[in-house]
C-alpha cells in the first residue's frame, strides 16, 4: 500500500513557476514508476508527465513543450514537478500517482494540489 500526498500548489501569474512535491509512504517507493496528472473543472483528467523507478526515463505530454520537469529522490520518497512558463490553461488540480507495472497504469493516487495561473 502506498499513500501519496501532494503539496506546492498555489496562485501564480502567467509566466511564473511552481514546484510541486509528492511524498510517498512505505519503504518500496523506488519500485514504483510515478506520474503527474491534472484535472481542470469540467474536464477529463489528463496525463502530464511520468518517470520510471530509477529516474532515468521520463516522458511528457505534448502540451508541456519543455516547460515542466519531473524528477524523483528515492532516498526521500519524493517526486517533483517543476513547472515554468505557466499559462492560464495550466490551471487544474495536479495529482501524483504511483504504479508497480507500467503496462497496467497507476494503482495509487494522491488527493491533489490546486494550481491556479492568473492572466
Residue 115 in contact with residue 90, Cβ under 8 Å?
A: yes
d(CA 55, CA 38): 21
Q: DSSP E strands: which ranges in 1-119? A: 4-7, 10-13, 18-24, 33-39, 46-51, 58-60, 68-73, 78-83, 92-99, 108-109, 113-118
Per-residue pLDDT of the chain (119 residues; tens, 9 = 90+): 899 999 999 999 999 999 999 999 977 898 999 999 999 999 999 999 999 999 999 999 999 999 999 999 999 999 999 999 999 999 999 999 999 887 888 999 999 999 999 99
| C-alpha cell at position 27 | 519503504
Amino acid at each position: 500500500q502506498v499513500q501519496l500526498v501532494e503539496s506546492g500548489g498555489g496562485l501564480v501569474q502567467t509566466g511564473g513557476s511552481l514546484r510541486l512535491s509528492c511524498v510517498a509512504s512505505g519503504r518500496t517507493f523506488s519500485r514504483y514508476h510515478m506520474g503527474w496528472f491534472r484535472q481542470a473543472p469540467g474536464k477529463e483528467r489528463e496525463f502530464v508527465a511520468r518517470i520510471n523507478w530509477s529516474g532515468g526515463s521520463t516522458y511528457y505530454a505534448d502540451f508541456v513543450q519543455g516547460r515542466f520537469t519531473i524528477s524523483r529522490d528515492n532516498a526521500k520518497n519524493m517526486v517533483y514537478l517543476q513547472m515554468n512558463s505557466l499559462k492560464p490553461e495550466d490551471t487544474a488540480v495536479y495529482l501524483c500517482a504511483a504504479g508497480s507495472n507500467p503496462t497496467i497504469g497507476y494503482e495509487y493516487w494522491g488527493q491533489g494540489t490546486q494550481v491556479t495561473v492568473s492572466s
